[in-house]
Structure 1
Amino acid sequence: MAAFAEGVPCWVDVTLPDVEAGKRFYGELLGWTFGTSAPEYGMYTQAFRAGKNVAALVGKPDGRMPTAWSVYLATGDVIGTARKVRDEGGTVITDPVRVGDFGTMAVVADPGGAVFSLWQAGSHAGFEEQGVPGSYGWAEVYTRAPERVDAFYEAVFGFRVEPDEGAGVPGVVRWTPRGRPAGAEHAVGGRGLISAGYPTEMPAHFLTYFVVDDCDEAVAITQQLGGRIAIDPVTTPHGRSSVVIDSQGASFAVIDTRTRGDAATA
């Protein structure tokens, strides 16, 4: 598999109190099957769609840890990138550490407080499948410090920050890696705003989107499985999406990229 370009989201995993319950939830919702859990890595369990890896589930070693999806951004030099994170006003939460022969990771946060991971690939490059139903589709960071955060991702990863008119929400931008042409088709992620309409206690965070065949059906299945809706389905030029919460409290989004509209509508 070809390596992911610098800064491109290459992997996601979710930390859960109960991995077996997570397997039942995501297996039913997204059609995933699962590999053998690795006890030496916190019961780390890879998820597959049609035999290709698409994400992973991991057990919470500590109840104080958040139940949440994590996004990994690719880097060819995790030590150097972690240094850039510090230099540009971010925080290194966990210094670079090798994960067997799979690769080397670090956990960091941007200047607005949104946590993400860096991944320098070894034998595990990242997604074998993405952009199709049942797999990863998109990631964006939500922040209250847009100017500082935009400058951070430009400096650390070389992203070009462009307005995203297709998002249907004012102030949203998209990221395009260095060397790629401008335009939504070349973007790899984006940045939204935590506006006054959100709870004051909501922290800055990354939101992971998974592609589905039908957004409304996925929302209904989420509720049937014990999850709930955080943001009702809306149709934009990018597709019809909804933010939901799984049966254990982890937030994510589902998006049907084939159902599109000219402006954001319910």
Structure 2
Amino acid sequence: MRKSKLISSIIAFVGTLISSQAHSIVQEHQLVAGDVLVKKEILWKTVKILEVDKSENNQVTLHAVFFEESKEKPSLSNLNNVLIKIHHAPVDADGFKQSWELLGNSTVTNNELEGFFEYLKQTDFQRYAEVTNQNVDDLISAANAKYKEAYSFSQQSKFNEAIKLYSEAVDLFPMFVEAIDNIAFAYMDIGDNEAAIKYFDKSLNIEPNNFTALYYKGHCFINLRDRDAAIAVFEDGMTRFPEKKAAFEEMYLKLKNMRSNG
């Protein structure tokens, strides 16, 4: 699954935090979970390592939580009183060796792990289940139960109730494309085409070959009277899904003809 733009922006932001000309104090230390690092600039910056991952080529990625900056140098004893600024960011271990001081090591709390767990849920569901002591099959089964209940509400035209339950299913299993699509359809049914587009995009981010999501995304733009955007979507569909070209081409030609006729 592709990483979200939000994760990319956080990584970029964190990169600015770990670049400095300060003297290295963590140079020879092998960082482990629970290590707390600090750096003095105008204010003190504080980072705590949540988990350490090593790739096959020995590149080390740190999963870290970033705390709010402080005027006074923090200590391990008062760290629980410092607010969290970024709940999770994966960063290259080498960046910390150039500028950060090792304050010490303290047990990683469940509150500090919340962002890491959410990151795993979105990017590595199997690992998420393992580290949170849950069973993948049980999670998927619970998500399916929510989906069936939501579908029943959809059939009764109770779309807001359906959206709530479909969303709960996706929260249990973020890659539940069918539930995400049905959230989009429910939003279409209540006339919120902008929200529907957001969920069709989410579906396509998980499953790029989901031609249904792309096709109905085009219809959302029609409903919004954004003819140019709709034409672009159907034109994209003709290229991306040649086996479904006829369906996309039909809408594309209709819209082009309407535009030509004013």
What interval of TM-score do these two structures reach, taking the shorter chain for normalisation?
under 0.3
Task: Give the number of the structure whose alpha-carbon radius of gyration is greater.
Answer: 2
TM-score (norm 2): 0.22
- The structure whose RCO (Cα within 8 Å, separation 6+) is larger is 1
More strand by share: 1
More helix by share: 2
